[in-house]
Chains A and B, each alone.
Chain A
Amino acid sequence: MVRAQQAHSARIHKGILDLLLDPLLACNALLAFTFLYFPILMLVLFSFSSSRYASIWGGFSLEWYAKLFHNPDLSQALLNSLLIAAATTLIATALGTLAALGLERFPDRRRASHYDAALTLPILVPDIVQGLALLLFFVLVFNGLEHVFDWRPALGRTTVIIAHTAFGISYVAVVVRARLSGMHKSFEEAAMDLGANEWQVFQRITLPLIWPGVLSGGLLAFTLSLDEFVITFFTSGPGATTLPIQVWSMVKRGVTPEVNALSALMLLTSIVLVTLSVMLQRRR
């Protein structure tokens, strides 16, 4: 009798806690999304304000957007960012896919897992360390080249591209690896049994199967390069100011809501890119 009572009260206890769980979770989610989006929405809102100070509403106006379009520094920075991102994506995707394929096929599994770890290293190294490492690298290499060949290259778009690919390759490799490991080797083996050579197998079987992964990886490398700030900060030179660097100087100077307008546009771009990425992931 007592035991039944205890069991009964125990069940009620669980019931109350369980009852609270859902509302608490919903609350948390609501707070979290408010936290995440309030600054963003406020930023976008004030991009339409005519007041020079970004926290006082001064009436609706599109002047900051107009100013943006007439800002030559900004258009140059945007162009640089796109060029660098495009070049980075090309190199990182190619090399990253090769790395993924190579690791997947590697006969010695133990050594492969070590190379795997080495490949993931650039993702884990903090950007500031990568940035300064590359700065040091370029300084020393340039000095060396000057001594030996009497030719001194300089920091610029090329050095930024090299810097971005250094981590881009790892990201692409990780994404393609994930895709590859889900793939059945049997397809490839069957094709080879049927007489196809390695290149044909790659072209007709492997590539189409990993293509969504390659695209995902490429998109990731593109977005990362576009948004990259710290490493670019350390390795950029004349004519290589990228959009994040430009934003940094605008934010530092605490200037007008032009930054707000720029942010709103960048947000729009992010939304487009995220949509693309989510759609790609859905195509499993």
Chain B
Amino acid sequence: MARYAWLGGVVLAIVVVVGVMVAVNSDQTRTLRIFIWEEYIDPAVYTLFEREFGAKVIEDNYGSNEDMRAKLQAGGAVYDLVVPSDYMVRLLRQDGLLLPIDLSHIPNLTHLAARFRDPPYDPGHAYSVPYQWGITGIGYNQKLVHPAPTQWADLFEPARIEPYKHRISMLNDMREVIGAALIASGYSPETIDPQHLAEAQALLLQQKPFLAKYDSESFEDSLASGETVLAHGWSGEIAMAQSQNPDIAFVIPAEGTFVFVDNWAIPKGTRQKELAEAFINFVLRPDISAMIVNHARYASVNDAARPLIKPEILNGPSYAWPEDSKVWWLNDFRDAGRLYERVWLELKGR
């Protein structure tokens, strides 16, 4: 009995101390809370920012735009910066979840490459400032895949992919996957024609038995390690895979593909709006942008940073731009999206 009283006393003491710690754990210094994709920025940037601005930076990650949106809708307004993709910027605006950005606090905006100025999804940069961009394409292992793929059909045609059965991965993203199938079938990836979508669905179901997995998060690692030899993926990640395994190459399919831009945006309810804008401006400094690119390998929208970026990255997959083939931006569909959802459910559910 005495033994237990002693043990109970110790436990109670620990719990009380912890409780006090939790209660007292309010941040006194200025803190910037960033909600961002995983491995999408160089942590050294935070250290530099913290030193220069006397603030603390906390980073949380998400794996998909929708995940981030759900958390914002649920009251994650304590984030000061989020990084939505192009179509998501528009959606978040419509949800009323974003604050307009004061561009006078972001003089470095002039460094933006012309291609990314005044984007269609956010005219005049009212709610977002571009950060990084990428292209969807096919990553592959040059040593093991012959002949090298050049178009989407090389990912879908059974005769072509038969030798690589179980060594192929597609993104786990509804719009990307269905889009790829649509383009491969000769249609626009923005179509809402049920006939076109039916064909895309057939193509995807035909492809499925040859796949290892649907994966948007570790496809580059699987490619680099040799687990897969053909991967539907994004330019930045494939560039990262290439840096680990020189046999990896990237191709932009000849029929055309999606391009996307990820942007900084400030959620409603933030308490550090000016600090957030200062951070956006900070990242647009040529040296900082270059640092991020050299670390994370994704292409920056910052033109002024180009001289400082490693040449192999500039010439690599990250900065590949399809000169001859068509490029589409992802747009949100609203109700027409149900058709796509149906196809996706059929694909996964069968």
Contact = CB atoms under 8 A, between A and B. Distances in A.
Interface of A: 53, 73, 82-83, 86-87, 89-90, 135, 138-139, 142-143, 152-157, 208, 211-212, 215, 218, 237-239, 241, 249, 252-255
Contacts of B77: 152, 154
B22 to A, nearest CB: 5
Contacts of B159: none
Interface string B201-225: 0000000000000000110011001
B75 A155 contact: yes
Interface string B126-155: 000000000000000000000000000000
A256 to B, nearest CB: 9
Given A53-B225, A156-B78, A249 B38 contact: yes
B298 to A, nearest CB: 15
A249 B71 contact: no
Leading 6 A-B pairs by shortest Cβ distance: A254-B218, A142-B75, A86-B18, A254-B221, A154-B78, A139-B74
B248 to A, nearest CB: 15
A17 B58 CA distance: 65
A212 B63 contact: no
Interface string B225-262: 10000000000000000000000000000000000000
B279 interface: no
Given A83-B21, A138-B74, 14 more contacts: A86-B14, A87-B22, A135-B70, A139-B73, A154-B75, A155-B75, A237-B60, A237-B75, A237-B76, A239-B33, A239-B58, A249-B63, A253-B38, A254-B221
B61 A249 contact: yes
Given A238-B33, A238-B58, A238-B60, A252 B4 contact: no
A245 to B, nearest CB: 9
A155 B4 contact: no
Interface string B254-283: 000000000000000100000000000000
B198 interface: no
Interface of B: 1, 4, 7-8, 11, 14-15, 18-19, 21-22, 25, 33, 35, 38-39, 58-61, 63, 70-71, 73-79, 217-218, 221-222, 225, 269
B11 A218 contact: yes
A25 B59 CA distance: 52
Contacts of B18: 82-83, 86-87
Contacts of A255: 221
Nearest to B46: A72
B11 A154 contact: no
Contact of A253 (B8, B78, B217): B217
A208 B79 contact: no
11 contacts: A86-B19, A87-B19, A139-B74, A143-B75, A154-B78, A155-B76, A211-B4, A238-B33, A241-B60, A253-B218, A254-B217
Contacts of A211: 4, 8
A87 B17 CA distance: 11
A109 to B, nearest CB: 31
A139 B75 contact: yes
Contacts of A157: 22
Nearest to B16: A90
A215 B71 contact: no
B225 to A, nearest CB: 5
Contacts of B35: 238
A110 to B, nearest CB: 35
A143 B77 CA distance: 12
A249 B225 CA distance: 19
A73 B14 CA distance: 24
Contacts of A156: 78
